[in-house]
Amino acid sequence: MTIEQWRAGILTFLSDVEYDNPFLDVQIQAVFAGPSGQRISREAYWDGGNTYCISFAPTQPGEWKYTLSCSDAGNGLHGQSGSVICVEYSGGLNIYRHGFLKVGEQGNHLAHSDGTPFFWLGDTHWGFVSGESWEESNHPRMESQFKGMVDRRVRQGFTVYQTNLRPEFLPMNEGYWAEGPHGLLPNVSFYQETVDPRMEYIADGGLVNALGLAWSGAILDQPELYRHFARYIVARYGALPVVWTLAGEVAGYAGATRQQCIDGWREIALLVERLDGYGNLQTAHYTNERPFADYYQEEAWFDFTLNQAGHGDYPISPRHFREHRSKYPAKPFIEGESLYEGVSTLEELGSRMADAAMLRRVAYMSIQLGGCGYTYGAQGIWDTVWDKDSIQPYNVFNAFGRTWIDGIDAEGGDQMGYMRQFYEACRFEKLHPVPGCFHTALPFSDETLSDLFGPLISADEGMSTIVIYFPPAYRSGGGAYIQGLPNKRYAAKWFDPRSGVYTEIGSGIEPEEGRWTPPHKPSPGDWDWLLILTQL
């Protein structure tokens, strides 16, 4: 069998024994030995009848030899051996050209296996299995709702699909589980016909699937079932480009059960860590809290922070990002859920619809303050609203009647792609926040207002690249200047986050005594802009 590097291939085996419960009564493991001595262990998953499959993605070209071990030595599989040949990947997708994800060497960003920095740009699809249609679409330019949305995000430059399997939404025998004569079994036909095509389509688009197993409270009533579920999911899909996000809003919001949820999902995380032969990254989709949530931060399996700043029920201030980053500087930080475009915000003075400018502010804020990516979301997509007739009256987040079509066509999707291009060009992995670099007497004399609406600056170690984000509310003027610059020559240009277009300012900028006064923003209205200085 020949497999391309980092691409999953499926090895199929037949057991001589028919088990009462073919999922629980036997465990089959394969250990693959690579050409340089690497060893990757992968568990087989039951695929119906006497069939067991092993999903394996080789990480280096050459011959990989494997040997099977079984808890039942009499099924004809124990001790069976063979090999697969890995050839170099021939396509153009970064996840296979550079390999699966890890934490970068500097500890502040994510990277591919070969060290290439990875900018996390996610899209939120909680109902990608339970709600999105594979066969149908009511969008005039998409034949399939699911495939059309994946294709659109790939074209826009997204790198991550942030999903959740949501098994609690699907009834027995129609979803992930079926009742067998000797206990529950994976509903193999559902996986083959519904889940596999979606997982593979996401992977074939070059996207990393940031995959959650369920929502927080599911662990309380059926902890053993979710251990079985995690084991099966890791075996079936762990050789695809995935990041394990554990569960949605892991701790939940019921104080009495908070610690139970945290502890229960920790057990699942440790199980996933043990079973995942690739060491794929793990995190948890956090609850919305102030200060930001921090459970699991000191635990070895928890690789990076996937925060939730929320949809307006708490103020979204730079202060909270700074406080979290100062407390946990060794973990990469990604803002994972905030102000879905088109969402009805939760605010004391009344709800308003979150527009692209509002979400851009949070996205750029989070990265300027030390983040290494952002997860976008659109109202109508995360809650899979087919049309206006299907909007639930109790959905407080959809007061403005948004459907998935409104969500996928919203302007913010393109603008997030521009953001990724901008930060990759600026070498985002080398940037860090530079507090106190921008001085202004106006328009914010109050420190709180200045923190909320003032410019945010990041730069590399030698300040050879400096990025300044001017939020929509900032007005130029008032004796503003940048301080602390090396007395060297710079080139400067504006970047429009709405269009992705640069406007040159000039290449003859020379700070005097470390100071430089930037020009007015190109547009005087409530628009955000970025200014980039590059040392010549």
Domain stops at, among 391, 412, 427: 427
The total number of structural domains in the chain stands at: 3
404, 440: one domain: no
Range of the domain at 504: 434-535
423 backbone φψ class: left, alpha, beta (φ>0; ψ -120 to 50) = alpha
Q: Round the average pLDDT of the chain to a whole number and report it.
A: 94
293, 398: one domain: yes
Of 351-360, 434-443, 485-494, the one with minimum mean pLDDT is 434-443
270, 367: one domain: yes
Residue-wise pLDDT for 106-155, tens only, equals 899 999 999 999 999 999 999 999 999 999 999 999 999 999 999 999 99
Banded pLDDT at 478 (limits 50, 70, 90):
low
**Residue 102 within any structural domain of the chain:** no
**Residue 112 within any structural domain of the chain:** no
Q: How far is CA 100 from CA 32, 37, 94, 246, 374, in A?
A: 17, 19, 9, 18, 19
Residues 6+ apart with CB under 8 A from 12: 47, 51, 52, 53
Q: Is the pLDDT of residue 440 over 80?
A: no
At 511, the amino acid letter reads: P
**What number of residues does the chain have?**
536
**Residue 472 within any structural domain of the chain:** yes
Q: Is the pLDDT of residue 445 over 90?
A: no
Preceding peptide of 171 cis, ω within 30°? no
Which tokens sit at 487?
């007395």
- Domain of 66, CATH number, reads 2.60.40.10
Domain stops at, among 87, 106, 137: 87
Report whether 64 contacts 32 (CB < 8 A).
Answer: yes
d(CA 523, CA 536): 27
28, 160: one domain: no
398, 331: one domain: yes
Query: Strands, E, within 151-263: which ranges?
Result: 160-164, 177-180, 183-186, 208-215, 242-248
Report whether 462 contacts 532 (CB < 8 A).
Answer: no
Of 29-43, 50-64, 202-216, 428-442, the one with minimum mean pLDDT is 428-442
Report whether 342 contacts 124 (CB < 8 A).
Answer: no
pLDDT of residue 438: 83
Instruction: Output 229 or 446, whichever has higher pLDDT.
Output: 229
